[in-house]
Amino acid sequence: MTAMITYSFLQHYWWIIISLLAGLLVFLMFVQGGQAIIFTLPENNDQKRMMINALGRKWEFTFTTLVTFGAATFASFPLFYSTSFGGAYWVWTAVLLSFIVQAIAYEYRSKPANVFGQKTYDIFLLVNGIAGPFLIGTAVGTFFTGADFSLNNMNNVKWGSGWHGLEAFTDPRNISLGLAVSLLSVTNGLLYLINTIDDPALFSRARKKMIIYSSCFLAAFLFFVTTLLLSDGLNFGRNDGRIVVEDFKYLHNFLQMPAILVIFLLGVVMVLTGIILAIFYRSRKGIWLTGPGTVITVFALFLIAAFNNTSFYPSLTNFRNSLTIHNASSSFFTLKVMMYVSFAIPAVFAYIWFAWKAINSKNITSAEMDKEDHLY
């Protein structure tokens, strides 16, 4: 076992953990997806109240996963953390701003004397619901399309564009991933609400909305995947460290790592099946397929971004500064310590599942809202 734990093994292991966290984050952004439609989905205040309370009981999971994703990246790939966060300043700041307003909106919106009025807090939820997934998706797009940075001999970042990350919005591939993540979040949000709230009228409206959102999601996702498979990428030599452009790099990655291709296709099929079940078979259980499908699809995309000697953060200014899991990672010792820490993650999942089931054993109804004494 100890002989197996090489530096390269740990670097791959930690990228797998990061990829898993990314998958979970995108799935848990169903909360943001639900927020994006709080003004358009419910027909009346009763439905809106149920909807916001159904989402509000889960917002902290998304938030905590985002924080843990950031912290795990800092711990395992600090050069990425310092380069991307320091350079793409405005994109990450915008993400943070959208999450700050979400954190307080649930708790404050229905409280008396909240100064700004309920509508303001609902707008905060809407802003986070639209901007959060879109910005994160667009930022992740640069894992494939690259960013305008260089590093000096102290590994300090210099960003080439004065827009500090906002220039990512000029690349249609980044935009399409941002849109795909946003629209998938709304689709997942609709599926979650269908599964959680016991209200036939809301169910019916959610199904109709889902046809539109899931179709748009598919269009954006197909555009992104097609352009990705046709794109070149950066390949680094494991022996000489040379970084060269490789045509169809991501297509090659799928073909050279068929297990990841299978995971990716399985994820896509699960996402589509969940949507089809909800739309055509009026099933309430679609989220149980689409949710895990989202996790493993994103997981596979992250793996092809970095495995097979691929640069997961290409530098458009200087190829030699591009980041790989080998040159951006923490030391062997730190990755090893963190690996032992990560063994506790299944226990964390177990108690989350246990607690989630305990308070979600019954669907949310209008009657329950009348009885509940902690309402959003």
Partner 1 sequence: MINNMDLSLVDWSRAQFALTAIYHWIFVPLTLGLSLIIAIMESIYVKTGNEEFKRMTKFWMTLFGINFALGVATGIILEFEFGTNWSSYSWFVGDIFGAPLAIEGIFAFFLESTFVAVMFFGWNKVSKKFHLASTWLVSIGANLSALWILVANGWMQNPVGMIFNPDTMRNEMVDFWAVLFNPSAIDKFTHTVFSGFLLGSVFVIGISSWFLLKKREPQLFRHSILISSIVGLVSSFLVAYTGDSSAKTMSKVQPVKFAAMEAHYYGKTNADLTAIGILKKSGSQIEDKEILDFAFRIKIPGFLSILTGGNTSTYVPGLYDLVLGPDSIKGIIPVFEKMNRGKFALNVLTDYKRGVMINDTQQVNLIRKEYFGNRDFMNEAFRYFGYGYLGKPSDAIPNVALSFYSFHVMVIIGGFLIALCILSLFFALRDSIEKHKWFIYISIISIPLTYLSSMAGWVLAEAGRQPWIIQDLMPVSRGVTQINTGSVIATFIIFAVLFTALLIAEISIMLKQIKNGPTPQEDKK
Chain residues 14-73 in contact with partner 1, contact rule CB under 8 A: 57-58, 60-61, 63-64, 66-68, 70-72
* H-only helix segments in the chain: 7-28, 30-35, 45-56, 59-76, 78-80, 86-87, 89-109, 118-145, 172-196, 200-230, 249-256, 258-281, 287-306, 332-342, 345-359, 366-371
Site string for partner 1, 151-170 (x = CB under 8 A): --xxxxxxx--x-x------
Contact, 369 vs 375, CB < 8 A? yes
Q: Tell me which stretch binds partner 1 (CB under 8 A): 34-42, 83-91, 210-218, 287-295.
A: 83-91
Minimal distance in Å, beta carbon 345 to partner 1?
6
Interface with partner 1, residue 350, by CB under 8 A? no
Q: Tell me which stretch binds partner 1 (CB under 8 A): 22-30, 32-40, 224-232, 348-356.
A: 348-356
Interface with partner 1, residue 361, by CB under 8 A? yes
Which strand (E) or helix (H) includes residue 286? none
Question: Residue 54: which residues within 8 A CB-CB, separation 6 or more?
Answer: 34, 192, 193, 196, 197, 364
Contacts with partner 1 in 259-288 (CB under 8 A)?
Answer: none
Interface with partner 1, residue 358, by CB under 8 A? yes
Interface with partner 1, residue 355, by CB under 8 A? yes
Minimal distance in Å, beta carbon 206 to partner 1?
22
13/264 with CB nearer partner 1? 13
3/359 with CB nearer partner 1? 359
For tokens 């915008």, what's the residue?
94
Contacts with partner 1 in 318-337 (CB under 8 A)?
Answer: 330-331, 333-334, 337
Q: Tell me which stretch binds partner 1 (CB under 8 A): 106-114, 190-198, 267-275, 285-293.
A: 106-114
Q: Which residues pair with 243 in a beta bridge?
A: 236
Interface with partner 1, residue 299, by CB under 8 A? no
Structure tokens at 136: 């994160």
Q: What is the dihedral of CA 243, 244, 246, 249, to 10 degrees?
A: 10
Minimal distance in Å, beta carbon 217 to partner 1?
27
Q: How far is CA 76 from CA 47, 56, 144, 204, 250, in A?
A: 43, 31, 20, 45, 23
Q: Which residues pair with 236 in a beta bridge?
A: 243
Interface with partner 1, residue 215, by CB under 8 A? no
73/310 with CB nearer partner 1? 73
Q: How far is CA 367 from CA 51, 81, 107, 198, 223, in A?
A: 14, 47, 21, 10, 44
